[in-house]
Chains A and B, each alone.
Chain A
């Protein structure tokens, strides 16, 4: 009996959705706007998070040695750094390579090359490039270098460590991105609330059109649940249809915007993100659509069931 009731509720829900074509279409279109707003939030959040991660990825520590530091001095520091558990790897650039790099970089700047030629010795020191496993571990590495090889100490082989200079810029950028995310979340939350309210009102309008029908069902002796359930199914179908339309809009839209986002947001192609997260996005849109549609229908029909 329960299965029979369920079958009838589902069938009635589908038939109502199909036969009330115009009402269904308007509800689906309004809900599509809501789901597009939700999609924008998903993409914006992904872009900002990925951008932050990508910037954090670029953080490293460069340890510049004084020109007089010997290879042994450098290797001692390298060895000490490699012993630290938070260090992923240490890349050693000899002072000769640093000089070569400088020459290549300034190949067209004759004055700088001439100035170099005037010097008897290589003015550059070796460089150790240190990468940590996690961005937050750099501070510990920096502290280790300060305690053991402080550049400010007399006779130190290390000339400078550039972490703090990078850190300031990165922290500032992170703050901007986080503030952007917070502001974006507030604005998008407002958009979601507005869209949900519009959807709720559209479905209320659909219920208003069906109020006489609901009254007849009650007079025939239908119980509240038997009247409500097909409308909830119809509402859920609005959500499913709106999800499909939203996906059909997102596909070409992200494809079109992909190259732009790739150049603007540090190598993040929004279309690639859409494709790689398709399952997740489909699930979010379907669940949001079905919940918004069915809950709106449930709330909208309640007032017409109150009357005896």
Chain B
């Protein structure tokens, strides 16, 4: 499903590469966690996958498409197929919870009827039934992250990328967010998670890819947090 073929990323002369000759293959339905110190290359990996950055060398494939050869309109379609969750939530502040989620559906070309049916359903799934008409600033960090997850999964994407989704959350909210991600994965969506949280990795008991200085130094099928 996802294939990194000898991918390197340099941000400039004299700066160590963010990624250095990364080869990686991810199959549909997997739950893969990326761990490593800050600057190990986790976020660069995510940015390459979302076509936010171009690799300096190598190629990145999503299904059969070489991501960095896609024309801009196909990049939009690629992103509609990849749900994203970030540490800083990245909700649209002037839209309500309902509108934030509905926006992802509008972008994908869903009808108003579909939006009216699906948004309450996904809000129920993430436990935010009563918050549909609140604005993001009226929610706690955990609630905002649940909105972000709801937005990410509303179009039933093939892939969900969660870049440090629990970085700003307390242990209780962290646990709840990871449980939601696990549930999403159980429903068939491939999940890529980057995190520093040892307890999260150890409790998941799924595939763990460890990065260091832009290189993959460990890839365990049911790994533990080992750095």
Residues of A within 8 A of B (CB): 1, 4, 8, 15-16, 19-20, 212-213, 215-224, 226, 308
CB of A225 to closest CB in B, whole Å? 10
Q: Are B94 and A219 in contact (CB under 8 A)?
A: no
Q: Are A221 and B111 in contact (CB under 8 A)?
A: no
When distances are taken between beta carbons in the complex, the residues of chain B under 8 Å from A222 are: 76, 103, 107
| B63 at the A interface (CB under 8 A) | no
When distances are taken between beta carbons in the complex, the residues of chain B under 8 Å from A218 are: 76, 79
Cα–Cα, bound, A223→B103 (Å) = 12
Q: How many residues belonging to B are interface residues under a CB distance threshold of 8 Å?
A: 29
| B50 at the A interface (CB under 8 A) | yes
When distances are taken between beta carbons in the complex, the residues of chain B under 8 Å from A219 are: 50, 52, 79, 84, 90
Q: Are A220 and B94 in contact (CB under 8 A)?
A: no
Cα–Cα, bound, A225→B99 (Å) = 19
Q: Are B109 and A220 in contact (CB under 8 A)?
A: no
When distances are taken between beta carbons in the complex, the residues of chain A under 8 Å from B151 are: 220
Interface string of B37-73 (1 = CB under 8 A from A): 0000000000000111110000000000000000011
| B91 at the A interface (CB under 8 A) | yes
Q: Are A1 and B75 in contact (CB under 8 A)?
A: no
Q: Are B90 and A216 in contact (CB under 8 A)?
A: yes
Q: Are A213 and B84 in contact (CB under 8 A)?
A: no
Q: Which residue in chain A gives the minimum CB-CB distance to B155? A: A221
- Given A219-B84, A220-B151, A308-B52, decide whether A226 and B107 contact each other with a Cβ distance below 8 A: yes
Cα–Cα, bound, A220→B155 (Å) = 10
Ranked 6 nearest A-B pairs via Cβ: A221-B80, A221-B79, A222-B107, A19-B94, A223-B76, A216-B90
| B106 at the A interface (CB under 8 A) | yes
Of B53, B73, B90, which contacts A223 at CB under 8 A? B73
Q: Are A220 and B103 in contact (CB under 8 A)?
A: yes
CB of A212 to closest CB in B, whole Å? 7
Q: Are B92 and A217 in contact (CB under 8 A)?
A: yes
When distances are taken between beta carbons in the complex, the residues of chain B under 8 Å from A221 are: 76-81, 104, 107-108
Cα–Cα, bound, A52→B103 (Å) = 59
When distances are taken between beta carbons in the complex, the residues of chain B under 8 Å from A217 are: 92, 103, 107
A-B contact pairs, 12 of them (CB 8 A): A4-B111, A4-B112, A8-B106, A16-B94, A212-B90, A215-B90, A220-B80, A220-B107, A221-B79, A221-B81, A308-B51, A308-B52
